[in-house]
Structure 1
Amino acid sequence: MAHTVRDGLYEAHRALEALIEDPQRLDRARERFSKSPLYRSGVSQDSTQFHSPEPISEEQTQREKQEWQLITEHRASMPYNQLDAQCQEEEQRILKRTDNTTGAILVDKRRLPNAKVCKLARETVEKRWVEQGIWSDRWKDARVWKWKHEEPPELE
């Protein structure tokens, strides 16, 4: 039976959906990448000689810093991290309210327990995302979040 690219994509999509449906299976699949491989080598001739690495150049150091900066920025742009950041901002907004008559900041901690503040903040941010058309209902149970434009197209 001849496989087409479409068949392969469909199979890959099904396999990924199965992993999303079963978080424990996904964790087990990821676990193999966390373990260091065991290296076995033959008899080494220069086993007592140490090779010191070349010192890292300033250019290489700068390149590595830029790489880590890009990785950090990419992680910050992920949906879950964006939601978390906006929820924290919303929590602060809820907890700090300005009194219209005096201009003083009122702390609402006495009125709402922290758990309720977190829940209210998340509901508020989710509602905004729904209104903006960026919320995905898949995120309620999923462990891996992707923006809508990053998801594979729906197969019919």
Structure 2
Amino acid sequence: MLARIIAAAALSGLAAWAGAQGAPMAFGQVQSDRSLPVEVTSDDLSVNQADNTAIFSGGVVIAQGEMRLSAPRVRVVYLADRSGIEALEATGGVTLVSGKDAAEAARAEYNITTGMIELRGNVLLVQGDNAITGDTVLVDTGAGTARVSGRVKTVLQPGARE
């Protein structure tokens, strides 16, 4: 899976990543448009109208504009009036690709309304030849930024170019 992430990520220049816990950095080349439709594909779907949720399982891929999230299982929470999606909760090993940046984690929660994504559990972010790991990453899709916390480790390649 890491080879797929590295192949998908071609952006470099993470000198700003060098630092300790809580290091901020850019994520995704362009800001995400949260007004775009969210497309979900999977092998199975189970809907619970009583609590406005649906569980997608088996090769789940979620797309919104340039952002792609894949995982074995995703729980979708719909707005109370069922007019749209409030949040996505992905588990079982998550891959997130935004533009030319990529991340993987044990789980992810995406709040569609705020555009915030929280990746947790052995998080790996890759941009070109550079990588950073941490316990938690918060991605702001509106601003195109991310913040890594919890035992942050960075690998910066000298002379890396875009």
Specify the structure having the higher radius of gyration (Cα).
1
Normalised to the residue count of structure 2, the TM-score between the two structures is 0.20
RCO (CA 8 Å, sep 6+): is it higher in 1 or 2? 2
Normalised to the residue count of structure 1, the TM-score between the two structures is 0.20
